């Protein structure tokens, strides 16, 4: 909770904390994980025995604080809801790690770690010189920038920087990734001396990726790329499939002329052809504890970290923009502001690209994180497992463990009733969220003290 609250917030906080139903309100917020923008529901649920008609359980929000049940918003953005973003990052971590080390609970064998796999980063091309921190020497502007300098990533000469090209690249990055994966399959087949059809019969390409905005506002992709047998992670890859072959194929596919997207000329904008930048990084993923920085755990944690971030890391807004005047009200920095203006100006020239609708994402309109079908488990499966676990807990608490599921009839009626907190509730919820986070960090430290084979990842 902030050290100093304004009188309105403080008054509202005291009202909430002194209410007779505060304990129940706090319990609701704890159950959401300290969500900063919970969804409010009104309604009821009725559990009956199909055979006897006996009411086994009845719940209504009539007796809840404010007559409402609060549930987590589920927003993945850390800037919008740190608590829900923490859950999303955890799910992403397990999804990525399962595809690297296996997960018996998801039917992904541990032998998958013997498959060729690399961690690749594909970057955007240059759109003009920007302030940076070179490994040796100083920035081209003549200054040495500290790590948190807001000037980093901004244009050295805004008048010559290609802001239009930058947002158009972001807008077409998803298509460029698709072109890359298609070409990669061809490059792998060529190195194995196979046709495309023959490759499908003996090997499968799998990946999980996440997009990251660089400080300059251009996208790049981090991807775990793996070679499996024909049926995915539970089948061994062919003998010719090696890490070196995969890495070489990635290098070739990223540089190939086919891996490009052409954007036609429109209005005062010239025709453009977008390719990946020259800074391509491909590293083998090692097992835990071999002394390498690129371990299964490190890669999964790195991808999970960026799964909860978006263009707001560059200073733009984390929601859609209605009017350019909003940029002044929210103090959007000049570089991000110019990129957003470019989206506005280009929108009528490329109406099918919906640049203004995605201006808050600096033109990017694709999936922020995605995976191939057979890479590992899915976020939906992880969420369902968590829901099933909570349902089991609830059944035990209600004494319904011994009731056969087939004999139970559940009736329910729920209505949306708003979202969010009052100022005082928001301050209290933030304190609850911080306490929960501290408990999680303490538990994580205790986990690190256990032998590796006793850890529950």
Q: Quick one: pLDDT at residue 375? A: 94
Q: Quick one: pLDDT at residue 371? A: 93
Q: For residue range 334-379, list pLDDT tens digits in order.
A: 999 999 999 999 999 999 999 999 999 999 998 888 999 999 988 8
Planar angle of CA 268, 269, 271, nearest 5 degrees? 135
Is the pTM higher than 0.85? The answer reads yes
Reading the block at residue 141, the tokens are 């502007």
Regions of the chain with pLDDT less than 70 = 1-4, 288-292, 447-457
Q: Quick one: pLDDT at residue 290? A: 58
CA atoms within 13 A of residue 110's CA, in its CB half-sphere: 2
Decide: 158 and 334 in contact? Cβ < 8 Å: yes
For the chain, the straight-line distance linking the first and the last C-alpha, in angstroms and rounded, comes to 31
Q: Quick one: pLDDT at residue 3? A: 57
Q: Quick one: pLDDT at residue 448? A: 59
Other CB atoms closer than 10 Å to residue 326's CB: what's the count?
15
Cα dihedral 281→108→367→197 (10° resolution): 80
Residues composing the chain:
457
Reading the block at residue 235, the tokens are 């089948």
Decide: 286 and 294 in contact? Cβ < 8 Å: yes
Q: For residue range 246-264, list pLDDT tens digits in order.
A: 999 999 999 999 999 999 9
Q: Quick one: pLDDT at residue 453? A: 47
Closest CA relative to residue 73, chosen from 44, 40, 27, 26: 40
Cα–Cα dist 299/436, whole Å = 25
Q: Quick one: pLDDT at residue 452? A: 45
Cα–Cα dist 295/349, whole Å = 45
What are the phi and psi torsion angles at 2 (to 5°)?
A: -55, 150
Decide: 224 and 100 in contact? Cβ < 8 Å: yes
Which residue is associated with the tokens 């300098």? 149
User: How many angstroms separate the Cα of 8 from the Cα of each of 255, 300, 307, 425?
Assistant: 59, 43, 36, 12
Would you say the C-alpha torsion 188, 190, 191, 193 has a positive or negative sign?
Answer: positive
Cα–Cα dist 106/375, whole Å = 12
């Amino acid at each position: 909770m902030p050290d100093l609250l304004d009188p309105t917030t403080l008054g509202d906080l005291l009202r909430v904390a002194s209410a007779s139903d505060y304990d129940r309100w706090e319990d609701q917020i704890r159950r959401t994980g300290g969500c900063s923008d919970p969804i409010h529901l009104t309604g009821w649920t009725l559990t009956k025995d199909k055979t006897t008609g006996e009411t086994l359980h009845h719940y209504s929000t009539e007796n809840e604080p404010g007559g409402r049940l609060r549930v987590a918003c589920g927003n993945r953005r850390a800037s919008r809801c740190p608590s829900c973003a923490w859950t999303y990052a955890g799910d992403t971590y397990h999804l990525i790690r399962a595809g690297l080390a296996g997960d018996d609970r998801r039917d992904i064998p541990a032998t998958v770690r013997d498959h060729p796999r690399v961690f690749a980063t594909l970057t955007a091309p240059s759109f003009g010189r920007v302030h940076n921190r070179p490994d040796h020497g100083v920035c081209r502007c003549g200054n040495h920038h500290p790590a948190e300098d807001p000037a980093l990533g901004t244009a050295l000469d805004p008048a010559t920087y290609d802001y239009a090209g930058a947002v158009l690249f972001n807008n077409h990055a998803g298509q460029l990734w698709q072109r890359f994966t298609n070409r990669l399959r061809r490059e792998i087949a060529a190195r194995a001396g196979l046709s495309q059809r023959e490759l499908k019969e003996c090997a499968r390409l799998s990946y999980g990726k996440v997009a990251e905005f660089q400080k300059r506002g251009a996208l790049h992709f981090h991807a775990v790329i793996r070679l499996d047998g024909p049926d995915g992670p539970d089948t061994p890859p062919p003998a010719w499939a090696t890490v070196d072959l995969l890495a070489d194929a990635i290098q070739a596919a990223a540089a190939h002329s086919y891996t490009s997207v052409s954007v036609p000329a429109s209005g005062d904008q010239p025709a453009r052809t977008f390719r990946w930048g020259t800074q391509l990084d491909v590293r083998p993923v090692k097992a835990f504890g071999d002394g390498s920085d690129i371990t299964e755990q490190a890669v999964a944690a790195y991808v999970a970290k960026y799964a909860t971030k978006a263009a707001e890391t560059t200073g733009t807004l984390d929601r859609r923009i209605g009017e350019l005047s909003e940029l002044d009200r929210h103090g959007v920095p000049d570089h991000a502001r110019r990129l957003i203006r470019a989206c506005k100006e280009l929108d009528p020239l490329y109406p099918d690209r919906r640049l203004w609708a995605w201006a808050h994402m600096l033109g990017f309109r694709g999936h922020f994180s995605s995976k191939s079908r057979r890479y590992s488990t899915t976020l939906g499966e992880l969420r369902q497992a968590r829901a099933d676990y909570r349902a089991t807990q609830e059944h035990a608490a209600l004494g319904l463990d011994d009731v056969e599921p087939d004999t139970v009839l559940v009736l329910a009626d729920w209505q949306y009733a708003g979202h969010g907190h009052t100022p005082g509730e928001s301050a209290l919820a933030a304190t609850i969220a911080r306490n929960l986070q501290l408990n999680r960090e303490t538990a994580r430290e205790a986990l690190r003290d256990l032998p590796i084979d006793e850890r529950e990842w």
